[in-house]
Amino acid sequence: MIAAVAHADDTPATDGSGARLLTDPATLLERLGLDAALLPAARRAAERFPMRVPAGFVARMRPGDPADPLLRQVLPLADELATAGGFGADPVGDAAARVAPGLLHKYAGRALLLVTGACAIHCRYCFRREYPYADTGASPAGWEAAFTHLHADRSIRELILSGGDPLTLSNRRLRELVQAADAVPQLERLRIHTRQPVVDPGRIDAGLLAALRSRLPVVLVLHVNHAREIDAALVQACARLRAAGVTLLNQSVLLAGVNDAATTLAALSEALFAAGVLPYYLHLLDRVGGATHFEVSEQQALSIMGALRAMLPGYLVPRLVREEAGRPAKTPLC
């Protein structure tokens, strides 16, 4: 049974360095020595989807470079205000897949629990940037009903914790979730999708590892798009996770101006493997409103993948996929 009352330690995890999160585009531009002329458009875009980026992630960006691939992922741009056909608020059909508060059941044998709407970083291409978390049970108040559904549906063998970002929850809340998953007899795996270790490696401490201890094999899927996101602190965090028996995978999104080159993706795969993380998926952009400028065409993506396969051993080549609403699985493109 999961308690629905809030705990005193339910505040999201903070930047492990203790540095304040950057939420004002003016601060980000000033810190990187960028042209203040970018500010008016950035503030307009941030009114639609707020900016949020930890200082530790900003420290990996190149000062003075408005095209820096890490910056491009988090800086609000005027491009976000453009509209285009085929782009919308729910590009992957989350609303239609909801079977209980916060619980999505799209694919056979797997269910995904949106445990929070909070993230340590707001990626500008996020496919849930307009998701109505407050109205759909993505909170502790909805977990009990979600787990009641999981107990009743014996076909579900894997539970995926997502959000938002599950690792923004307190260790106490995470422990409650893991214990609740342990109590579902037919579950065989627990998967966690997170970007938190990338932007705040200090989050992976002894308390978190203890909270994730489970009777189930735990798979943690990171979200890294560029090799420069991987620093020594993240490598150490991955080592701690592996030592605790956690399997580490990575999924990326193919993003124009960020990683849309075979050499860039090859460097990412090599850096991931050196950190003990296996490349898993490379997603075509989910067509959410505000992200049109990130889209890479399918034809270009296939060309990039052909070049990538010529550079790397097969186990370092992620699977190129597209997620389409209503399909029984992700669609492989090559």
In this predicted model, what pLDDT tens digit does every residue of 153-188 receive, in sequence order?
A: 999 999 999 999 999 999 999 999 999 999 999 999
Calpha distance 95→75 (Å, rounded): 28
Average of per-residue pLDDT across 246-267: 98
Shared domain for 309 and 200, answered yes or no, is yes
Calpha distance 165→168 (Å, rounded): 6
**Best CA proximity match to 39, nearest among 50, 28, 52:** 28
Calpha distance 230→275 (Å, rounded): 8
Does 146 score more than 70 pLDDT?
Answer: yes
Shared domain for 298 and 192, answered yes or no, is yes
Count the neighbouring beta carbons within 10 Å of the beta carbon of residue 50.
Answer: 12
- Residue 317 DSSP class: S
Does 16 score more than 60 pLDDT?
Answer: no
Give percent helix, percent strand, percent coil of the chain, each to the nearest 5: 40, 15, 45
> Helix (H, G, I), strand (E, B), or coil: what is residue 267?
helix
Average of per-residue pLDDT across 299-313: 98
Per-residue model confidence as pLDDT tens digits over 88-142: 999 999 999 999 999 999 999 999 999 999 999 999 999 999 999 988 888 888 8
Residue 52 domain boundaries: 25-81
Task: Evaluate whether residue 3 is within a structural domain.
Answer: no
Spell 315-333 as b/e; 16+ CB within 10 A means b: ebbbebbbbeeeeeebeee
Split at pLDDT 50, 70, 90, the class of 207 is very high
Shared domain for 290 and 206, answered yes or no, is yes
Distance of CA 64 to the CA centre of its chain: 27
Shared domain for 144 and 49, answered yes or no, is no
Interhelix angle 298-311/262-274, rounded to 10 degrees, is 50
Shared domain for 54 and 170, answered yes or no, is no
Q: What is the pLDDT of residue 2?
A: 52
Task: Evaluate whether residue 7 is within a structural domain.
Answer: no
Calpha distance 270→78 (Å, rounded): 34
Average pLDDT, the chain: 93
Tokens 């990626």 correspond to: 123
What's the chain's Rg over C-alpha atoms?
19
Q: What is the pLDDT of residue 284?
A: 98
Shared domain for 49 and 182, answered yes or no, is no
Task: Evaluate whether residue 259 is within a structural domain.
Answer: yes
In sequence order, which residues have a C-beta less than 8 Å from that of residue 70 and are 6 or more positions away? Answer: 57, 60, 61, 226, 228, 229
Burial class (CB within 10 angstroms; exposed 0-12, middle 13-18, buried 19+) of 135: exposed
Calpha distance 145→101 (Å, rounded): 7
Per-residue model confidence as pLDDT tens digits over 47-92: 999 999 999 999 999 999 999 999 999 999 999 999 899 999 999 9
Per-residue model confidence as pLDDT tens digits over 216-241: 999 999 999 999 999 999 999 999 99
Task: Evaluate whether residue 271 is within a structural domain.
Answer: yes
Shared domain for 73 and 114, answered yes or no, is no
Shared domain for 263 and 221, answered yes or no, is yes
Burial class (CB within 10 angstroms; exposed 0-12, middle 13-18, buried 19+) of 5: exposed
Total domains in the chain come to 2
